[in-house]
Chain A
């Protein structure tokens, strides 16, 4: 589904160059749920940007569904959830969710049916005519997710989608995400700071190093599905996985404390 081949990214600027991504190559299979973790600034968002075609790699090549990604063009059937709120504030919940369908000129009746189903999925019935500023942060996240799901993406890129939420809301959204993924089997790449979240949700966890980043660890998560988001963290497998990954990631965090290496390797 996704092929990353020798991806490197250097941001050039007058004051100082940032060598964000050193060299990343990997293959992500169709239907996989992969989490990417790593120290802040190691280029996780940059990597997602490159996959989505928002940004150009300095070196290397990305293929999505067999096609090389062209910077400036978003691969088809790709969904992207930003850390920031990206719902349109001047549209009601209903009009936000139907946005992607309107872009596709879907017939009115089909839109209505689909929006009704999505509202149910996102537990937002009764909020159709509400404007985003009247919703809670967690509800806005759900609207953004539904906007994306309405377009039936085959590939979902999630950039710390639950970062700003409280534990309760976050856990509920984890549950929804797992059930959506189990129904629709999209390929999902989730960037997160939260190792708990990564182990709870994904099949595979990629740990990136400090910048210029490379893959430190590529760990399969062998906890069987269906997972219960509330109790999975009490299982011994969870603790085991958490320990293995934390050993690598924690060391990286510790090393990142020494600032000498933090900023780009060009000079």
Chain B
């Protein structure tokens, strides 16, 4: 009994040591990362205040690059300060368009990809068109999309869909084709009919490949929406950026860029988490700790 106690105590001790080491490792990492950002911000802030630098170099001229303190003030104005609430409708417009575009492109990309991987004839007939469409510089179509779908939500969603669809489609298609023949034959010997094979084998297998594309799909969807907002729109973060270019207002520009980067980081991390959750059966996402 005493032995067991001693053993379990030392086991706890060891666990504590491991946890402590992990904590300091993470702390050091965060320290350096925050430090790096802090350094960049400091150079930016101070550089734009030194006349020699700001007069001679455009990258330190506050007219072009603003400065961190001004950007923070502007962000405060837009949210709770002088122009309180100004930011929200734009942020909301971009977010909603991004999410709708994502849902549409992921669902259609999944369905079409799975269908193509099952129906050989369909894939053979239509694949050349898809490959051709995919190799076009899709951004070149955004003005056309705006012309057709107008300055509102629709053209943002269509642009996002147009950019993300192929990503999801190709991933799902590849997954659908990569399924092992033996897996399907095995399930047949277990008594599955075609419909049951589709439901229990083909769809989950393809979904695995679709989920892997999610984090990229989110960031591409956001890219699509912002480009559509550049080209023609009356709301959204892309619209804010383009108007600040027109008024040559660098504080506005950087404030919008900051918000946009945060949106991107948050969305992508959320979807990475979601992917992890959905793919917890996969060895790549072995639960840690």
Contact = CB atoms under 8 A, between A and B. Distances in A.
Is A bound to B? yes
Interface of A: 52, 54, 74, 76, 78-80, 82, 84, 86, 88-91, 99-100, 102-104, 131-134, 144, 147-148, 150-151, 153
A103 B196 CA distance: 7
A82 B182 contact: yes
Highest count of chain A CB atoms <10 Å: which of B185, B189, B286: B189
B200 interface: yes
Residues of B in contact with A, size category: 20 to 34
B281 A103 contact: no
B280 A131 contact: yes
Contact of A84 (B180, B192, B200, B205): B180
Interface in B179-216: 180, 182-183, 185-193, 196, 200-201, 204-205, 208
Interface of B: 180, 182-183, 185-193, 196, 200-201, 204-205, 208, 280-283, 286
Nearest to B189: A80
A52 B189 contact: yes
A100 B191 contact: yes
B220 to A, nearest CB: 26
Nearest to A75: B189
B190 A99 contact: yes
Contact of B185 (A52, A88, A91): A52
Given A151-B190, A151-B191, A91 B182 contact: no
Given A88-B201, A148-B190, 8 more contacts: A84-B180, A88-B204, A89-B281, A90-B204, A99-B190, A102-B200, A103-B200, A153-B189
B196 A74 contact: no
A229 B114 CA distance: 47
A82 B188 CA distance: 13
Nearest to B196: A103
Highest count of chain A CB atoms <10 Å: which of B191, B196, B201, B280: B191
Sorted nearest first, the 4 A-B pairs with minimum C-beta distance are A100-B190, A86-B186, A133-B283, A80-B189
Nearest to A81: B186
Given A86-B186, A99-B200, A133 B191 contact: no
A78 B283 contact: no
A254 B191 CA distance: 42
A76 B286 CA distance: 38
A214 to B, nearest CB: 26
30 contacts: A54-B185, A79-B189, A80-B185, A84-B182, A86-B182, A86-B186, A88-B201, A88-B204, A89-B281, A90-B204, A90-B205, A90-B208, A99-B187, A99-B200, A100-B190, A100-B191, A103-B187, A103-B190, A103-B191, A103-B192, A103-B193, A103-B196, A103-B200, A104-B191, A144-B186, A147-B186, A148-B189, A150-B190, A151-B190, A153-B189
Contacts of B208: 90
Given A90-B204, A131-B280, A131-B281, A82 B186 contact: yes
A151 B186 CA distance: 12
Nearest to B287: A134
B281 to A, nearest CB: 4
A78 B193 CA distance: 15
Contacts of B201: 88
Nearest to A153: B189
Contacts of A132: 281
A147 B281 contact: no
B191 A88 contact: no
A148 B182 CA distance: 14
Contacts of B205: 90
A133 B182 contact: no
B175 to A, nearest CB: 12
A74 B180 contact: no
Nearest to B278: A90
A79 B183 CA distance: 13
B286 A133 contact: yes
Contacts of B204: 88, 90
Nearest to B283: A133
A133 B281 contact: yes
Contacts of A82: 182, 185-186
A86 B183 contact: yes
A153 B283 CA distance: 31
Nearest to A99: B190
A86 B187 CA distance: 9
Contacts of A100: 190-191
A89 B282 contact: yes
A132 B180 CA distance: 16
Contacts of A103: 187, 190-193, 196, 200
Nearest to A49: B185
Contact of B189 (A74, A88, A104): A74
Contacts of A102: 200
